Structures are given as C-alpha cells and as structure tokens.
Structure 1
Amino acid sequence: MPRRRKADKAELVARLEAVRVTIADMKDAMPTMARELRRSADEALEDIIEAIR
C-alpha cells in the first residue's frame, strides 16, 4: 500500500473551513438534509484527524 503524504497546514485549514460551512448550513436545512450534512461533516472531520496523525 502506498504511503499517504502528510497534509500541509493550508490544506487542513481549507478542509476545516469547508466543514465549518457545512455545519453552518445545517441550521437552515430540512431534517433529512441536516442528517446528511452531519454525516458528511463527521466523515470529513475523521479524514482530517487521520491526516494529522
């Protein structure tokens, strides 16, 4: 399995900003869409945490 490159700071900040926007969008979303946005944000945060490790 190839080694994954370490994410740089700018990339991590951009990804976190995208998650922040996703979370902000949840407040106006219908329940079904809010659930999907939460799932998406959760997966993105898991990916970011894994990239930091």
Structure 2
Amino acid sequence: MLGESLEGNKRVKASHQVRRAAPAASGLVAGLKTQNVGSTRYLDAAGFKGRSVGL
C-alpha cells in the first residue's frame, strides 16, 4: 500500500524496528526488520544476520 504518499503531501509518522528472537541451540538468532508508516506495517527483511540479505 502506498496510500501515505498520495494524501495531499500530509506528513505521516514513520518508524522502524528490529526484533530478534532468543538464540537457538546452534547460536543463530532470527531477526525481523519492519517499518511503520502511518497505520501500515511493512516487513523489510527476515532471517539470520550474515546469512540473509537486508539484515
């Protein structure tokens, strides 16, 4: 959804977040990068740091 870019140049609150799971027995830690723009959440990347693009 790109509605926030089409609303008459109104400013929309945006934020980002990185969440990490507890380490697995192997030591790998899953991560999830998200952005919130207005009331819409975008999932940017998920996986393992050093093994997944975007983390």
Q: TM-score, normalised by structure 1?
A: 0.25
Scaled by the length of structure 2, the TM-score of the pair is 0.25
Q: Which has the higher helix share?
A: 1
Larger Rg: 2
Structure in which a larger fraction of residues adopt strand: 2
